[in-house]
Structure 1
Amino acid sequence: MTTVLDKQTRDAAVHAFVIGVGAYRHLPGGSGPLMANTLGLEQIQEPALSARAFLDWLTGDYPHPSGVPLGSIELLMSTSDDPYRYDGHDIAPADLPNAQLAASSWIERCNANKANVTLFYFCGHGFARDHQYLLLEDFGQAPLNPMSTSIDLNRMRYGMARCEADTQIFISDACRQVKWDLLKTFDTLGDPLIPPIMGGNADRNTPVLLATRKGGTALGAPGQVTYFTQALLAALRGAGGEDPGNNDTWVVRYRKLADAVQDLLTYGPFGPATGERQCCRTDGESENVILGHLPGPPLVSLQIDYDPPESAEVATLSLDSSHRNFHQTRNQIAGPWQLKAPASCWYQLQASYLDGTSWSRPVAVLPPLPRVPAVHTRRSNAPSNLAPDAP
């Protein structure tokens, strides 16, 4: 089966199409004939784990836009467990015929209401040329046209112009390496699943979030959710939150989401301990659409540094917010102060020293990864932007 949830509503709803591909028939270790040129690809575990994590977010703590609940999920999974089991059901493998069938069911539901939100998520192998190509389980089935069983994400987005839904979100957690074997192919590559048409819904929002830059690799630790999907889910759960009206109504909007994912990939825990971090990219045409409402201010991971580091041993810090009913203190302890606090612009940071001097300043604690400027040893050494009234 491909449909794992269908509330059969014609009211505004979110309709998701999720694909995870880690098992490939024609790559080494696959169940079918080996491709003559595997382009360096192997079987991988991470897509199934990542797609499942995305599903858990969808069915668990998805931050519904006001009045737009989850309406349906189409799911395809290709893993070493054949068939993949989800919620007590056997899930169809992510090959081209099943993807075409699932896309037909998906767009039919998406098309039922102009206020619907369509959400497409893919995790697996991918390549880039002029477009982004997402490789399905039967990639390489046709020896003379191995890319015929891949998804052309760009043309799929163009094809979604036939859909009435005004918000159409596309997320690709796949590599974007450019292979010479693809560059020299004089033909259209891939299948759009939803063929492009002339005209259609020209005013729709079509934000696209790509896991890496063109030519880049989508990374992940073996046997774990990919770094991009980890960062994406952290951003969706609050690290990409903002309060645009300054009225404590927290939402996740497209542009802040993309910025938060990149910050988390670059500076956060979602990346290799050494070496280059990946850079996500955006595409499509979109206003800064609201992707979800958060139930309240997100909990923010905050780091306060000391300069020089030994100043931590003579300073007592406190972070307070009457707005959030929050108070934490840190006595003379070596190392940066790492803590979590609910997001707000209204915090007061105070430093008290062993010689009896002190200073305080307002600080904002906002997602995704705020870092307070260094706290200096002496009040007289505090920089002007940290303690503006210091003598």
Structure 2
Amino acid sequence: MAGFTVHLDENAGPASTHALVIGVGAYTHLQGGASPTAHPGAVGMRQLTSPPLSARRFATWMIDKYHDAGRPLGSLALLLGEEVPGPFVHPRTGAEHAVAAATIDNIVAAVLEWKDRGDHDQARLVFYFCGHGVSLGFDTSLLASDMFADLNSPMNGALHFEGLKRGLNSCRAGQQVFFVDACRAGSDALGRTVGGASLGRVPVDGNEMFRPEGFVPREHAVLYATLHGEETFGRAGEASLFTSALLQSVDGAASENTEGHVWRVTTGTLTHAIGHFMKEPAFAGTLTNAAVPVNSESFDFVFHELPGDPIVPVYIGCLPQTDNALAEFVCRHPGQDDRRRPPPAAGDEPDLTEWSLFLPFGQYEVEAVLGPGDVRRDGLDARPPLFHLRLARP
């Protein structure tokens, strides 16, 4: 395959989706890397395990499950910074593809290839980044795997995200979607040493205020994992919280059925659903409310169509919450095996959390059995974005 692509549809027409996916966890010149720098701007930055896993999961979803009949997936380019590099296994063909390193030169080259492939009025561009990010002033810079290779100008190892977004106004693609799963907190150490004159590399020049004559208007959506000035959160050895919420959302929680029989995910419903997951203790655990996803200056348009009915997050518990540790929960639906969560065995830690389920769209009957004289029953309608059911004492 050409360049950095791990998926390429040779028959893709102008009305196609083209994705660029970047996940950087191994940083050569940060603490714990192969050649750590003594540059004062690198203080506090370390190696990450979540971004390469997150990027692989997002790339797999895009190839295997992303669906838009009007703009099918035409290509996907993947760049990773991994401690132990490995091939990407195409989820449909099983073919193994070498993955390019997420150095700044490779990222710039991949951006240019991606922009050229999507330089059509009917095209959709999808950009995904997971890794270290910093804010210098009001702009965000995304750090490549070789950040700090240039000690005289460390920001040469970063991608200036706002510059990229502005520059892509000079690309004909009428729809552009950006997922930024990175910190947007300011770095005092970096700010003091490099100032704000350079915010990173800008592969494509453009003016966000003026679309070139003859281009269709641009609809763009930017989904940040967190507010400006805040950190985002990875989970060691797992996909990040934001990416996990994103992938659960496109499975159904972010879908709506407002026309015909098709469930559609829009950029607006996607932001709403991700926010629900990030605030849900049964999903986010100790990271509940730790980060607030933001959809900044974005248009609301259809991003994905489900092939069937949605899968809906459902949370079932008791009132008071302490009864969760005593209850056997049962969920029933005609034609399906009963779903159960037994109470903790003798000697186990009491489980006060709600029962977290992902149920196909439909109606269900639920029981919480706490004893012969305390059986609580209710029905629920599993439909997006989610459903909470709390069963009180009789």
TM-score tier (shorter): 0.7 to 0.9
Shift of 1:45: 1.8
| Cα offsets for 1:172-202 (capped at 9, x unmatched) | 1111111224445141311122222453357
Contact 1:311/1:376 (CA < 8 Å) preserved in 2?
no
Give the partner amino acid of 1:86.
Answer: F
Per the alignment, residue 222 of structure 2 pairs with 208
Structure 1 residue aligned with 2:34: 31
Q: 1:19-59 deviations in whole A, cap 9, x for unaligned?
A: 11112121123334614121311122211111111111112
Name 1:387's counterpart in structure 2: none
Question: Which whole-Å CA distance do the structure 1 matches of 2:87 and 2:118 have between them?
Answer: 25
Match of 2:249 in 1: 235
* Aligned residues of 2:16 and 2:124 also touching (Cα < 8 A): yes
Secondary structure of the residue aligned to 1:15 is strand
Paired residue secondary structure (2:226) = coil
- Contact 1:314 1:377 (C-alpha < 8 Å) held by counterparts: no
Q: Quick one: distance in 2 between partners of 1:359 and 1:75? A: 48
Structure 1 counterpart of 2:177, from 141, 162, 169: 169
Which of 259, 277, 282 pairs up with 2:290? 277
TM-superposed deviation, 1:266: 1.3
Q: Give CA-to-partner distance per residue, 1:314-348, whole Å, 9 cap, x none.
A: 99998779xxx889799x9999676554325x778
TM superposition shift of 1:273:
2.7
Q: Deviations over 1:225-256 (max 9, x none)?
A: 111111111111222112123x4421111111
Q: Would you say the 8 A contact 2:279–2:288 is kept in 1?
A: no
Query: Are the structure 2 counterparts of residues 16 and 329 from structure 1 closer, same or farther at C-alpha, using a change threshold of 3 Å?
Result: closer
C-alpha change, 1:85 and 1:216, in structure 2 (3 Å) is: same
Q: Which shifted more, 264-273 or 7-16?
A: 264-273
Cα distance in 2, alignment partners of residues 51 and 121 from structure 1: 8
Distance in structure 1 (CA, Å) of the matches to 2:37 and 2:355: 54
Cα distance per residue 1:155-178 (max 9 Å; x no partner)? 111111111111100011111111
Secondary structure of the corresponding residue to residue 162 of structure 2: helix
Q: 2:197 aligns with which of 187, 193, 206?
A: 187
TM-score norm. by structure 1 comes to 0.81
Q: Distance in 1 between matches of 2:18 and 2:135?
A: 27
Identity %: 28
Aligned length: 366
One of 121, 124, 144 as aligned partner of 1:117: 124
| Residues 331 and 364, structure 2, Cα contact 8 Å, conserved in 1 | no
**Distance (whole Å) between structure 1 residues aligned to residue 206 and residue 323 of structure 2:** 62
2:329, 2:366 within 8 Å by CA — same for their partners in 1? no
Q: 1:350 to 1:154 in 2, by over 3 A?
A: same
Name the SS of the counterpart of 2:108 in structure 1: helix
1:28-107 alignment to 2 at 5 Å? Answer: 28-32=31-35, 34-37=37-40, 38-62=42-66, 64-82=67-85, 84-87=86-89, 88-107=96-115
Instruction: List per-residue Cα deviations over 1:294-326 (Å, max 9, x = no partner).
Output: 0122122323444457999999998779xxx88
CA contact (8 A) 2:51 2:234 kept: no
Distance in 1 between residues matched to 2:265 and 2:293, nearest whole Å: 18
Please point out which of 124, 138, 141 is paired with 2:146: 138
Q: Which residue of 2 aligns with 1:366?
A: 383
Counterpart CA distance in 2 for 1:310 and 1:284 is: 43
Does the residue aligned with 2:101 lie in a helix, a strand or coil? coil
Query: Is the Cα contact below 8 Å between 2:278 and 2:289 reproduced in 1?
Result: no
Q: Secondary structure at the match of 2:74?
A: strand
Structure 1 counterpart SS, 2:178 = strand
Give the whole-Å Cα distance in 1 for the aligned partners of 2:47 and 2:366.
50
The answer to whether the Cα contact below 8 Å between 2:126 and 2:177 also exists between their aligned partners in 1 is yes
Rounded to whole Å, the distance in 2 between the matches of 1:269 and 1:310 is 15
**What do the CA deviations read for 1:258-292 (whole angstroms, capped 9, x no partner)?**
11111111105443436752211122331x21111
Larger Rg: 1
1:217 CA drift (Å) = 2.0
Measure, in 1, the Cα distance between the counterparts of 2:202 and 2:322: 59
Change (3 A) 1:119 1:318: closer
Q: Paired residue for 2:93?
A: none
* 2: CA distance, partners of 1:61 / 1:211: 22
Task: Provide the secondary structure at the position in 2 that maps to 1:371.
Answer: strand
Deviations 1:69-116 (A, max 9, x none): 11001221121225x42243332211121112111111111013x221
RMSD over aligned CA atoms reads: 3.5
